[in-house]
Amino acid sequence: MSERATGPAIETSGLIKIFGKNRALDGLDLTVPAGTVYGVLGPNGAGKTTAVRILATLLRPDGGEARVFGHDVLRDPDAVRGRVSLTGQFASVDEDMTGMENLILIARLLGYRKPAARDRTGQLLEAFGLTDAADRQVKNYSGGMRRRLDIAASILSTPELLFLDEPTTGLDPRSRNQVWDIIRIVVAQGTTVLLTTQYLDEADRLAGRIAVIDHGKVIAEGTPGQLKASVGAGSVHVRLRDASQRPGAERVLSKALDAPVQLEADPVALTARVAGEGIEHAAAERAARALSELAAAGITVDDFSLGQPSLDEVFLALTGAPTRNDGLAPIDNPATSEETAA
Ligand SMILES: Nc1ncnc2c1ncn2[C@@H]1O[C@H](COP(=O)(O)OP(=O)(O)O)[C@@H](O)[C@H]1O
Ligand SMILES: [Mg+2]
């Protein structure tokens, strides 16, 4: 692993990709340190998949440079291909075969001898919670199981760099959690992960650093803490017992949080942005102080929560405009049905 740790896993500068008149990538600059999860956060159409496909040597850029572990994607594509894996692309799973058969086949194609292929397959099925489903045909898997099998197939060979392009979009919360656990296992084994996502909370949980991209450009980059500091640490949501106390609650909250308070359509609900000067617990402390001041003012609170900003709020803060999400999926609210998985 030590020889992997020299230099960044990915470096792009001024990367450009044009489809017709559409600049899918418009000067993308990325530096992804090795050995970590790096989050690329952006709405539909931002250029995430285009960037991943160029980095995996599946698509030629129209300008700029991209290197993977120091190897130029255009001049030295074989060196890049030998080090990367992309879910759902290089590892194509056959619907009519069982999960176990698929993994063993891919392991054999990668050069594992039969007993080693069985061992590695068994370990991965176990680690990914698919042991019980090992002998079922993949066409009978749920969206979440399928997504986990895809990831298992793509790490059979323990790649140095794994691209996960929106691995949880469309999954229910439980399946998302399982995929997150798997990503943590993968990175603990020394693989660098480039994770694209539309969910700030996902990038926040998993990534060491995050690049926010829009219109094919990076519009913000940093640790999750830095990013949240620049956009606000989150929003406080309060529900009162009694609607008649709302004007009082609004005064107390706006003073305690030093922020404008929004009155929701629901007559007992209020929302306020918590300023994010840096660290997360500062926001939690502020929110807690606001709660105790409500109590001190004799206002009864039924429900109180501190939520992270959604991607919409992030974009509003960074660009002054809401996301121009051209897809149909709601972006701050993962779909609840596994069947919608792409
Ligand atoms: N093969 C293609 N032909 C034409 N336009 C494309 C193609 N692939 C992507 N695009 C366009 O490029 C932009 C970026 O797309 P994409 O990289 O898929 O974004 P994301 O993955 O962030 O949703 C979008 O406007 C999309 O419509
Ligand atoms: Mg995409």
CATH code for the domain in which residue 258 is found: 3.30.70.100
Question: How far apart are alpha carbons 238 and 77 in whole angstroms?
Answer: 54
Question: How far apart are alpha carbons 147 and 116 in whole angstroms?
Answer: 24
Last residue of a domain, one of 171, 196, 228: 228
In terms of residue numbers, what domain contains 272? 233-319
Question: How far apart are alpha carbons 179 and 52 in whole angstroms?
Answer: 19
Q: What is the pLDDT of residue 335?
A: 37
In a domain, residue 336? The reply is no
Distance 47 CA to ligand 1 centre (A): 6
pTM for this prediction: 0.75
Same domain, 68 and 205: yes
Last residue of a domain, one of 179, 211, 228: 228
Give the number of the atom of ligand 1 that is nearest the alpha carbon of residue 50: 17
Distance 328 CA to ligand 1 centre (A): 15
Same domain, 8 and 136: yes
Look at the chain and report how many structural domains it folds into. 2
Q: What is the DSSP letter of 3?
A: G
Same domain, 84 and 130: yes
Distance 147 CA to ligand 1 centre (A): 22
Same domain, 67 and 132: yes
Give the number of the atom of ligand 1 that is nearest the alpha carbon of residue 165: 21
Same domain, 106 and 42: yes
Same domain, 311 and 256: yes
Same domain, 40 and 117: yes
Q: What is the pLDDT of residue 322?
A: 60
In a domain, residue 97? The reply is yes
3-state secondary structure of 266: coil
Same domain, 198 and 51: yes
Same domain, 221 and 278: no
Same domain, 151 and 20: yes
| Pocket-testing residue among 16, 19, 197, 215, ligand 1, by greatest number of atoms within 8 A of Cβ | 19
Question: How far apart are alpha carbons 191 and 155 in whole angstroms?
Answer: 9
Q: What is the pLDDT of residue 155?
A: 83
Q: What is the pLDDT of residue 281?
A: 63
Q: What is the pLDDT of residue 194?
A: 96
Q: What is the pLDDT of residue 276?
A: 57
Q: In this structure, are residues 341 and 143 in contact, taking their beta carbons and an 8 Å threshold? A: yes
> Domain containing 28 — which CATH number?
3.40.50.300
19 lines ligand 1 (CB under 6 A): yes
Per-residue pLDDT of the chain (342 residues; tens, 9 = 90+): 444 447 899 999 999 999 999 999 999 999 999 999 999 999 899 999 999 999 999 999 999 999 999 999 999 999 998 888 876 444 578 899 999 999 999 888 877 899 999 998 998 899 888 999 999 999 999 988 998 999 888 888 778 999 999 988 888 888 888 889 889 988 998 999 999 998 888 998 999 999 999 999 999 999 987 887 777 667 888 999 999 999 999 999 999 988 888 888 899 999 887 765 555 567 778 888 999 999 999 999 999 988 776 666 677 777 766 665 443 333 333 333 333 333
Nearest in space to 208 (alpha carbons), one of 5, 62, 37, 324 = 37
Same domain, 60 and 171: yes
In a domain, residue 262? The reply is yes
Same domain, 237 and 143: no
Q: What is the pLDDT of residue 310?
A: 66
Q: Which residues pair with 267 in a beta bridge?
A: none
310 lines ligand 1 (CB under 6 A): no
Q: What is the pLDDT of residue 332?
A: 39
